[in-house]
Chain A
């Protein structure tokens, strides 16, 4: 009798299945297929992680920005292949004399994906929307907070002061004071222009903190921008994001009709998928694989380094580090040439200062501290710090463009330090699991960390490191010159004239390296990007901000 029951169950199941099947089929016939005018192929990119959501304003990580960058544009853009600021949705911009009022002339031929016109009102709507965030939005709107300092509820501390549409295609943005970051910061993906109508309808600002994460409003899943691609769908079960070509794009329309981001968290799997031909490219290939990838007909696009890896020192944790001789000794002890050659990818360079040479304000006269263990020992002896103990830490479970494999870099540095008699006490923590906390809380004497520039600005590098006296990882407040350095940096940042500003930063860079040496810049590493055979038109960006509208996928 149990047999009968089973048969009955199966029969029901099959019937149900048949019904479902017919429904599904009709559905499929209705939708699908349509869309693309001329089929120029699909570009499939292997992403390392899932995007957070699709509203760039709340986004914080590269995987999200990579997707939104294809759909959104800012007032200012970046020249493909460089860090140079170029016009995008704004054709011209002009400050007033004291650099507090900026007039932007906008393109007049742009519409959002939903057909809404792009104009000065839309710009101001966007800025006011970003400015006016609830509590959750203020923390989630990470980049605005970072570059603008505050939101509407704390307006006087905000760099942004207001936006006015003075003409249909002319908007004036007022800021509290001149800074090197403005208007360059308008190239930030987070500050992209979005459709006012869609923002309104999707309750874009309705973000809420829930548990330890944010729950995003409907808009975050249905973004509307002006870029060469429009949002298609996000297949969560299969980890695929599909974008479609925007055929009404104001510029040259994209070459491929469809752009797909496939989430493949495992590095070696991304390579294998590329070789199997199921993806057309992925970011940050393991340097070890570069040669092999090239041999197999792929092209590895090496970007110019726009980052810095440094060995941070904290004099508050270890008072011996207050002595410049000790810091210099440690610097001389490091065989950075060997490290760069043997552990970092081709194109990596020994750092002479805390920023890469692509940033204005780079001091070309600085020479790398030479590797000289004898000098190191001598300096240590002079400082009475022979055999000093050093708590030296590195992060686990992380790979950054400036340090593909932290442990390897750490091990090399540690070996060098031990060679001059420093007793290293090794500490580690995982990147998300306390390493950064420990660094900011000053629990390590020495640590490795780095920075990738957000945009072309010296202050984005050294200002981030030393500009905030109270809260910086280098503990510069413990040095007599700490305050001076912070003030100098702020002063230089406020210089309106670009050339003057550059000169000021050059000087500060020289001081930092020769007189202060608050930490030890190690190297700049080039992050790479790889695309498969037949893929053309990828322009590697030092800011890792590639746009895929120029990409073509050829048959093999």
Chain B
């Protein structure tokens, strides 16, 4: 009796290459939410039922909601205008570099007499803007690349994916430094763009993976056999069905974006304009006062940690809920 190697098994053996695992993880996520020919409602509903009782998700969601609400209403609840310098006359670089807490200023002021509490509150808004736009730009870039690759396939696919793989193979923060230091005149937007760029390959890979998975799925085949145009299939069937994993990744990316923004600010690549406060920037600048006024660093750092944790908790539990493995 002959014993040939099972071709199905041979197919199953994947050859890892560098960046493979990172890619695999993204691909796994891509398939997690996307390929499910059973009505989407049950999937989302099932996920929601699991999430509703998951304390990790609830904690993350609560933090996130509080943060977003705070960011939206910040200018109205902040007791002081963030550019006003009510405590300026108290500031003496040597004897009183940072005015302490006092009536009307529960956390005191910063190094130029601005109300610290107000800046923290309003900082939530800029932080959210950095996080959201960095993720959004990354998402848009990723969607474009991923859609092109996933929808067209063939040589275009492999070309785009080569580029994406090269981007993935450079340590992300390094890529962000590189881009940030390219800027002629640094601003909040250069910060956002440099963080967005490191998100592009992740989203691109994610979308392409879920598109590929769907190309062979029943509803796409059905649509195709009915003569639906390719573009319509991509935009009406494939893209919307990839939204689950994208949301998960976006949630996680938001946390990463906020942390990376802080890291870039720390290295002096952040937004040099300090009128509008942002937590990462506040933390970066507080380094100068670390010995005499460590609270200047601790408040924004605490905010960043809590918010990043919130997004991460939410993203991780979403990922788990959408993962077919944990569903069985």
B276 → A minimal CB distance (Å): 12
A271 close to B93 (CB less than 8 A) = no
| CB of A344 closer than 8 Å to a CB of B | yes
| CB of A367 closer than 8 Å to a CB of B | no
What is the CA–CA distance of A288 and B184 in the complex, to the nearest angstrom? 31
Chain B positions within 8 Å of A397 at CB level: 268
What is the CA–CA distance of A262 and B60 in the complex, to the nearest angstrom? 46
Which of B36-44, B220-228, B286-294 forms part of the interface with chain A? B286-294
Instruction: Assign chain A's interface to a size class.
Output: 20 to 34
Q: With A407-B274, A411-B274 given, is the CB distance from A342 to B92 under 8 Å?
A: yes
| CB of A463 closer than 8 Å to a CB of B | no
B89 close to A338 (CB less than 8 A) = yes
A408 close to B111 (CB less than 8 A) = yes
| CB of A551 closer than 8 Å to a CB of B | no
| Nearest B residue (CB) for A287 | B93
| CB of A427 closer than 8 Å to a CB of B | yes
Cross-interface CB contact of A430 among B92, B186, B273, cutoff 8 Å: B186
Cross-interface CB contact of A288 among B272, B275, B288, cutoff 8 Å: B288
A404 → B minimal CB distance (Å): 8
A343 close to B112 (CB less than 8 A) = yes
Within 8 A of B (CB), among A259-286: 267-268, 271-272, 286
What is the CA–CA distance of A291 and B95 in the complex, to the nearest angstrom? 6
B184 → A minimal CB distance (Å): 6
| CB of B94 closer than 8 Å to a CB of A | yes
| CB of B47 closer than 8 Å to a CB of A | no
| CB of B303 closer than 8 Å to a CB of A | no
A246 → B minimal CB distance (Å): 37
Chain B positions within 8 Å of A411 at CB level: 112, 274-275
| CB of B185 closer than 8 Å to a CB of A | yes
| CB of B144 closer than 8 Å to a CB of A | no
A288 close to B292 (CB less than 8 A) = yes
A429 → B minimal CB distance (Å): 6
A345 close to B113 (CB less than 8 A) = no
B272 close to A396 (CB less than 8 A) = yes
User: What is the 8 Å Cβ interface bit string for chain A, positions 290-313, against chain B (1 contact, 0 not)?
Assistant: 111000000000000000000000
| CB of B306 closer than 8 Å to a CB of A | no
Interface centre among A268, A288, A345, A408, by most chain B C-beta atoms within 10 angstroms, is A288
| CB of B167 closer than 8 Å to a CB of A | no
A444 → B minimal CB distance (Å): 11
| Nearest A residue (CB) for B91 | A342
| Nearest A residue (CB) for B181 | A433
Chain B positions within 8 Å of A429 at CB level: 184-185
What is the CA–CA distance of A202 and B293 in the complex, to the nearest angstrom? 50
A343 close to B93 (CB less than 8 A) = yes
What is the CA–CA distance of A426 and B289 in the complex, to the nearest angstrom? 25
Q: With A407-B274, A408-B111 given, is the CB distance from A434 to B88 under 8 Å?
A: no
Within 8 A of A (CB), among B174-207: 181, 184-186
B288 close to A434 (CB less than 8 A) = no
Cross-interface CB contact of A343 among B91, B273, B290, cutoff 8 Å: B91
Q: With A396-B272, A411-B112, A415-B85 given, is the CB distance from A346 to B94 under 8 Å?
A: yes
User: What is the 8 Å Cβ interface bit string for chain A, positions 393-416, against chain B (1 contact, 0 not)?
Assistant: 000110000000101100110010
| CB of A382 closer than 8 Å to a CB of B | no
What is the CA–CA distance of A411 and B273 in the complex, to the nearest angstrom? 9
| CB of A166 closer than 8 Å to a CB of B | no
Chain B positions within 8 Å of A12 at CB level: none
| Nearest B residue (CB) for A267 | B288
Q: With A288-B292, A342-B113, A396-B186 given, is the CB distance from A426 to B273 under 8 Å?
A: yes
B184 close to A434 (CB less than 8 A) = yes
Chain A positions within 8 Å of B93 at CB level: 287-288, 290, 342-346
What is the CA–CA distance of A427 and B186 in the complex, to the nearest angstrom? 9
| CB of B324 closer than 8 Å to a CB of A | no
What is the CA–CA distance of A427 and B112 in the complex, to the nearest angstrom? 20
| Nearest A residue (CB) for B184 | A434
Cross-interface CB contact of A289 among B112, B113, B181, B291, cutoff 8 Å: B291
| Nearest B residue (CB) for A293 | B291
| Nearest B residue (CB) for A340 | B93
Chain B positions within 8 Å of A408 at CB level: 111-112
Cross-interface CB contact of A342 among B89, B268, B291, cutoff 8 Å: B89
User: What is the 8 Å Cβ interface bit string for chain B, positions 141-154, against chain A (1 contact, 0 not)?
Assistant: 00000000000000
B residues apposed to A, CB below 8 Å: 83, 85, 88-89, 91-95, 97-98, 111-113, 181, 184-186, 268, 272-275, 287-293
The 6 closest A-B pairs by CB, nearest first: A288-B97, A287-B93, A342-B91, A396-B272, A428-B272, A290-B94
Known: A291-B95, A342-B89, A343-B112. 9 other contacts (CB 8 A): A268-B287, A286-B288, A288-B292, A288-B293, A343-B93, A345-B94, A346-B93, A397-B268, A407-B274
